[in-house]
Every structure is written in structure tokens, then in C-alpha cells.
Structure 1
Amino acid sequence: MSATDISMSPAVRDFAHRHRLRWWEPLPWIVAIGFFFLFPRHLGIGTEILVTILFALSLDLVLGYAGIVTLGHAAFFGLGAYAVGMLAHHGIWSEPLSGLVIAAVVAGIFGLLSGLILLRTTGLTLLMLTLCMMLLLEEAANLGQTWTGGYDGLPTVPIDPILGRFAFNPLIPDVQYMYILCVLFVGFIVVRTIVYSPFGESLTGIRENTLRMHAVGAPVRKRLVICYTISGAIAGVAGALWAQSNAYVNMSTFSLDRAATVLIIIVLGGYGRLYGAFIGAVAYMALSHYLAKIYPTAWQLGLGILLVCIAMFARNGILGMFDSLVARLRGKRVGP
């Protein structure tokens, strides 16, 4: 232990150490790069998993860390997808990287404006208002036939080559995969930095005890609105990536099914854990794929049974189960 560590209080030392990179943290990225080389014929499902992870990270920021209960997070996903899709489809702007920035700005502004209103409420009221907000945007996409394509969506979203060199190929999505992986890495660094910052610590405090945070003088509502805005921007980027990689946009980006799916992923992997989004997304996509093969007409039954078991017997998802197992093993080792 260094002299600097000795001079720190235990709380400050613990907070400082949490910023440090753990030995296992590069593993998901090594696996993702390995997947690119080992399974070139399955890069399509790989890109979908990566987009889902980024979307789940954005939800985990508001739900897992700030404690904002929402069932309408797909509103930001859809806004990002339609922002990129409409600009490209109508020939206004189709550059991919700047398109992500535009999607983030559009979704972030909507997150700021809606957060100022919605975050005045809590609990079931907030849950229903976020759901209504998403459904209103879905109906707006349905009615905006001229720009959004209405119910049929936008069947073609032409995207320029990345940096003018790497063109998207729908049949061989190798460029899409690496492009989305790089964006996911940047998004993860942003979320990780926020979570381990004093701002992130205050969000956790708000989640655990809002009244106490008010008592110590923390600007609770302001920080929740900022968190909601950042989360919306990240979800907008995920939606833009979905539109760019699939080369089309439809109303499913605003659907309740998408909002519920990402919530299930967070519950399955473990909320408020950063890597819970990774574990949950991979587990959900893999289970959905193989259960649909085994029982195409009722594959959701098996997934539902698993989720019930997770909710009843596992504390905080798969990562929570892993933590409990590690704790028991350590207890046995140090025991008599």
C-alpha cells in the first residue's frame, strides 16, 4: 500500500480504487473481437447484440443507478433511428458518424424537455407517463406519412461509407460489426466514467434515499434530469446504429415490445452493474434464438419461466447469482 493510500480515508480510498481497471474488464471486448474472426457468418446477429447492449446501457444508467423507473425508453431509441433514417432517406444527410451526433442531439433534447416535466413525478405515475410518451411518438411516426413513411416506415436508408472508405454491405455485415463495436466501446467509456464520478455517486445516493440527498443539499431533480438527458442521447445513438446497420426504419423502434425487451435484459443480467447489460443482452438473444428453434410457437414460455426464477431466487440477475456463488466459495475457504 502506498503512502498516498495510507493518507486517504477508507471511503475515499475505496472510491478511488473503483476507477481502476480490473483484470477481467477487457474480457468482453476480447470476446467481441474474437467473435468477428471465429463466426463471420453470424455477424448479423452480432451487430444486433451490440446495438442492444448499448441500448441496455442507456437504460441501466437511469434505472440501475438513478432509480428512474421507465417503460418508455424506446422513445429515444426510435427518435435516433428516425432522425438518421429520415435525413438519409430524403437525401438530406447520410454521413454515418455525424448522423450519430445528430441522433444523440435530437434524442438528448427530447430527453431534456420531457425530463423537466416527467421527473416531477415518481413511481407508477412516472412509469405510465413514460409509456404514454413513447406511444405518442409512435403515433406521430404513423401519422407523419410524408416524412416517416407512416405504418410502412422507410424501406431504404442509404448510408455513405465510413470515413469515405468502408462501405456497408447488407449481405456481409463485417464493416457494420466493427463500426458498432467501436461506438459501443466509446459509449461504454462514457457511461463508466459517469458511474464512477462524484455525479454517479450522487445518482446512487438519490436512488437509495432521495430524502437524505435533499437534506444534504444535493440538487436532486437537476441531476436526475441531466442523467435522463444523457441516457436519452445514448439510446438515440443506439437507435441510429440500428437504422444504419439495417438500412431501414419502421415503427417497431417505438414499440412496447422493444421497451419491455431491454427492461428484461437489464433484469436478466443485473441492473446497476455496467456489465449486466452485456450479460443480459447475450443471454436474452441466445435464449430467444435457441428456444425459438426448439419450440417456435411458444418459445416465450421458456424465457418467461427463466425470468420468474431469476426474479424469485436470484438477487440482481445473473451477475448477482455469480456474486453469491463467489461469496459462498470464499466463505468455505476461510471457514474451519
Structure 2
Amino acid sequence: MTLHDLTAAKPSRFGRRLPLLPEIVMLTLAIAAYFAFPYDLALVTRFLIMILFVLSLDLVLGYAGIATLGHAALYGTGAYAAGLFAVHVSGDPIIGLAVGAAAGAALAFVSGLLLMRTHGLTLLMLSIAITLICQEIANKARDLTGGADGLRGIRMEPVLGLFKFDFVGRTGYWYALVVVCLCYVVLKIVTASPLGLSIRGVRDSAARMVAIGSPVYWRLVTVYTIGGAIAGIAGALAAQVTQLVSLEAYAFNLSAEALIMLILGGAGRLHGAVIGVVIFMTVHHVAAAVDPFNWLFVIGAMVLAIVFFVPTGILDLPKALSSLIRRNNNARS
């Protein structure tokens, strides 16, 4: 089975007739969630932030095939940049998002100049090392970042000067939803552009892309920088909505969980990343409430089932079941 088989799937005939159907369904459910969970908006907003973070990872890994376990470095840098900007310069949310995006993109570009020259285990280890370096810098710069106590004192101004951040989280939810939708549209355009087509070619066969004269290295640096900007926006959103940034923004488990979410939903499909986040975080929330000490067993069993039976993601479960039934019928006949 090739990497293309694991990270991409052909759209169904029904999907070709209604190409925006997944997006319409997801937006409808997101709006419905606001009314269905009025007292859990903080949790649902966290879903949106993680969706944006995993979407950035999908661009990097699912479309470009850049295997990384250090994506939290870009998220955390965006969070600290937006938080520090709010504390020392301005609490304007929109400008803060731009600062977070710029910080994430800058780190992705600088680190990408090194990372994109490597592959395999070397790439994985270097990406983790960059995250650990960023975390240690944030820990040592206590006077600036608050160290282990976290960056506090973040006060946000009203969005567009009109909508104040309230305690219940209504403004935060709609603000996060609009940002996620806009970033989703940007990623949709990028993945359908010549750049998106070329990075999929690099993912499937870098040697062929080099043979036809494609600048593979710079294409990878470019897409990694774009992914860094989106991850930085996710981090900035988290800092603005929670009004706190801690060292956990650089935690390794954040990158690992994002990778698991992407595997669950199916890499190389933007709506697959969204579904993976919803499934993982819902199971996590429910399982942790039932058993706070052993909930990881449920997550582990779910991931193993997906990897063994539906390696292209849970979106292909109906197709996998129909294929299994067909094989059983053929064996009996």
C-alpha cells in the first residue's frame, strides 16, 4: 500500500455531484452546536481551535507528506506572540491573529530551511527538537512569558470594536468559528491551486517532480510556512479566548494528539481532519469523565481499529464494510 493510498481517497459519485456537501453539513452542525451546548461553549470553542490546528497539520502532512511531530512549536509560538502582543501593545483580536500568524510563519520558514532538507526519522527528531528548544526558551524567559506559571494579564478588546468577550463564551465561539471558516476557505484554495497539486506530486514521488523540473525544496518550504501561519492563528485563538498561555502550548502530546486526530479522520482531506478532531475530542471527553485514569485505553483501541481496518480514515468506513461484505459473499459462492 502506497502513501497515496493511505492519505487520499477518490471522491464518491455523490460527492462529485455535491462538492460542497461536507462543508455545508459541518457548518450546519457547528451552528447547531451553539444552541445545543449553551453551557459548554468553552469546550466547543476548544474543538474549533483544535480543528484549525489539525487542518494546518493536514496541509503539511496529508497533502505535502512532511512527517513532523513538532507541529506544536508553530502553535505555541503563535500563542505566545499573540499573548505578548495583547499584554504589551494592543488587545485588538484581529491584529493579534495577524501577529500569531506572522510568528508561526516565521518559525516555520526558518526551521523549514533545515527540516525540508531531511526526511524520515531525522525529520521527526529535528521537529521534536525544535519544539523542545522553543519550550525551554519560553520557560527560561520568565520575566517575559511567566515561565511555568504561564503568561497572564491578557485582556482582549471587543472584536471589531463591537463584540465584547463574555464570560459564557458566546463571542469567543462565533469569533473562533468565523476564523476557522476563513482559514478553511484559504486552505481549500491552496490545496486546489497549482501549488497544492505540485506538493501532492512531491508526496507521491519527489524524484519524479525533480525530474520534470519542479523546485521541490522551495515548494516544501512554502507549504510548511503556510501551515505554520495557520497553526500560529490556532495558537493565537487559544491565547485570546482563554486569556492565558502556558508551556503546555509546546507540549509533545499536543503534536501527537493532532496526528492521531488526522489519522482518525483521514489525511489529505480537509473535512477528514475536522471529523477526526470531533471524534477524538468527543471520545476523550466522555471516556475521561467515565474513567479519568484509564481513558487512554479507549483512545488506543479506537486508533488501532482505524489503522488496521480503515487505514484511510473513518470516512471510508462504509466503503470498507461494503468491500468486506462483497468478499464474504464471493467466498461463499
| Common fold by TM > 0.5 | yes
1:268 is matched with which residue?
264
CA-CA distance at 1:322 after TM superposition = 3.6
SS in 2 for 1:26: helix
Counterparts of residues 101-120 of structure 1 (less than 5 Å): 101-120=98-117
CA-CA distance at 1:22 after TM superposition = 3.1
Give aligned pairs, total. Answer: 316
Q: Which residue among 130, 134, 150 is the counterpart of 2:147?
A: 150
**Residue 73 (structure 1) aligned with residue 71 (structure 2):** yes
SS in 2 for 1:315: coil
Structure 1 residues 182-223: Cα deviation after superposition (integer angstroms, max 9, x where no partner): 000000001111111121111111001111111111110010
2:60 is matched with which residue?
62
Structure 2, unmatched stretches of 5+, are: 1-14, 329-333
Structure 1 residues 51-71: Cα deviation after superposition (integer angstroms, max 9, x where no partner): 000000000001000000000
Q: Distance in 2 between matches of 1:285 and 1:247?
A: 21
After superposition, the Cα gap between the structure-2 partners of 1:234 and 1:298, relative to the gap in structure 1 and judged at 3 Å, is same
TM-score (norm 2): 0.90
**Residue 225 (structure 1) aligned with residue 212 (structure 2):** no
Preserved contact between residue 85 and residue 99 of structure 2 (Cα < 8 Å): no
Preserved contact between residue 80 and residue 103 of structure 1 (Cα < 8 Å): yes
SS in 2 for 1:316: coil
2:245 is matched with which residue?
249
Q: Distance in 2 between matches of 1:328 and 1:292?
A: 33
CA-CA distance at 1:126 after TM superposition = 0.4
Structure 1 residues 104-154: Cα deviation after superposition (integer angstroms, max 9, x where no partner): 111111111111111111110000000000000000000001111111111
1:5 is matched with which residue?
none
CA-CA distance at 1:96 after TM superposition = 0.2
Q: Which residue among 256, 259, 271 is the counterpart of 2:255?
A: 259
2:4 is matched with which residue?
none
SS in 1 for 2:270: coil
Q: Distance in 2 between matches of 1:18 and 1:116?
A: 38
Worse-matched range after superposition: 24-33 or 234-243: 24-33
**Residue 127 (structure 1) aligned with residue 133 (structure 2):** no
SS in 2 for 1:163: coil
Counterparts of residues 138-217 of structure 1 (less than 5 Å): 138-169=135-166, 171-217=167-213
**Residue 93 (structure 1) aligned with residue 114 (structure 2):** no
Q: Distance in 2 between matches of 1:84 and 1:103?
A: 5
Alpha carbon RMSD of aligned pairs, Å? 2.1
Preserved contact between residue 59 and residue 231 of structure 1 (Cα < 8 Å): yes
Aligned letter for 2:21? W
Counterparts of residues 254-333 of structure 1 (less than 5 Å): 254-325=250-321
Preserved contact between residue 104 and residue 228 of structure 2 (Cα < 8 Å): yes
Structure 1 residues 265-311: Cα deviation after superposition (integer angstroms, max 9, x where no partner): 10111111111111111101110111112212111111111111111
1:35 is matched with which residue?
33
TM-score (norm 1): 0.90
Counterparts of residues 11-26 of structure 1 (less than 5 Å): 21-26=19-24
Preserved contact between residue 22 and residue 271 of structure 2 (Cα < 8 Å): no
Worse-matched range after superposition: 207-216 or 320-329: 320-329
1:82 is matched with which residue?
80
Preserved contact between residue 59 and residue 268 of structure 2 (Cα < 8 Å): yes
Aligned letter for 1:104? A
Aligned-residue sequence identity (percent) comes to 42
